[in-house]
Chain A
Amino acid sequence: MKVTILQFPGTNCEYDTEHAFKELGADTQIVWHKAETLPSDTDLLVVAGGFSYGDYLRSGAIARFSPVMKAVTEYANAGGKVLGICNGFQVLTEAGLLPGALKRNDGLHFISKHHSLKVENNDNIFLKKLNNGDVVNIPIAHHDGNYFIDSDGLKELHDNNQVLLTYSDEKGNIQNPNGSVDSIAGICNKEKNVFGLMPHPERAMELILGSDHGIKMLEGFLESC
């Protein structure tokens, strides 16, 4: 399996993401944002976390117009699998590949800590190795993680099982760190080939770092390719 990881000026999670997928046995390649095409053998495209273009204007707003994004949009529209983590999630919403938007956290603070997440819908390739209701412990590190979508959009997300993960406590009860609508931490598109989440599964791959729950999440992709 070949994982292609995007790198914009300001991306800072590309090497963690590469390490995580290599540990799982995947081949990886980091692609600079000026590329106009993606490697043709890409099985999964990851838009890694960080602060593309310094978060200027809005998080992800400028990266979305990088040359590579045209190829990403074509790849996604053709059914290619795309995963956006943190800033990658913001880029995908700005690009219109995922619905909604990420606003400044309600408390206005940058939040960096481990947080429990509840699995809401596992009928997709990303979370199929987990069960609905499972609680995973994954780090979050963001300033603009407050997911917003209007009420019609929210209904559609729920109706189509597009809500992947919600912020919770260790028992799975709602605990909302940033003000996200319905405590949403991650979603997918209607076709279930484009995924976005604010938490960092690639930082939860080894117990010595506090959690290895990211393995079960990222493994879902490997088994699907």
Chain B
Amino acid sequence: MTTAIVNISLKAGVLDSQGKAVHHALDSLHFKGVEDVRVGKQIILKLATDDKTTAMAEVEKMCEEILANTVIEDYKIELI
């Protein structure tokens, strides 16, 4: 079995309103030195295959088709 961890976030250059709000909140709590905050989402998939190459190809296809909206989002896949 392979576990795939997919992290999805808004592309650089696309304003992340939630990240901005969290940044403001951190500021008001006096956490200094935070330069930028991006909020994303994580999707964890358990796949039947043990083959990492197959798993990667399959998850990439899932990201392109449904998990991410590539007009506004980037995704990163980690396999364990």
A54 at the binding interface (Cβ < 8 Å): no
Are B15 and A57 interface neighbours, CB within 8 A? no
A-B contact count (CB 8 A): 34
Which residues of A have CB within 8 Å of B17?
Answer: 103-108, 146, 179
A94 at the binding interface (Cβ < 8 Å): yes
Q: How many residues of B contact A (CB 8 A)?
A: 11
B21 at the binding interface (Cβ < 8 Å): yes
Smallest Cβ-Cβ distance to A65: which chain B residue: B66
Chain A binding surface SS class: loop
Are A103 and B14 interface neighbours, CB within 8 A? yes
Given A57-B66, A101-B71, A103-B72, also A148-B18 (CB < 8 A): no
Which residues of A have CB within 8 Å of B72?
Answer: 101, 103, 148
Are A106 and B15 interface neighbours, CB within 8 A? yes
Minimum C-beta distance from A181 to chain B (A)? 10
Q: CB-CB contacts of B49-78 with A at 8 A, as 1s and 0s?
A: 000000000000000001101011000000
Smallest Cβ-Cβ distance to A59: which chain B residue: B69
Which residues of A have CB within 8 Å of B10?
Answer: 103
Binding site for A on B (CB under 8 A): 10, 14-15, 17-18, 21, 66-67, 69, 71-72
Binding site for B on A (CB under 8 A): 57-58, 61-62, 65, 93-94, 100-101, 103-108, 146, 148-150, 179
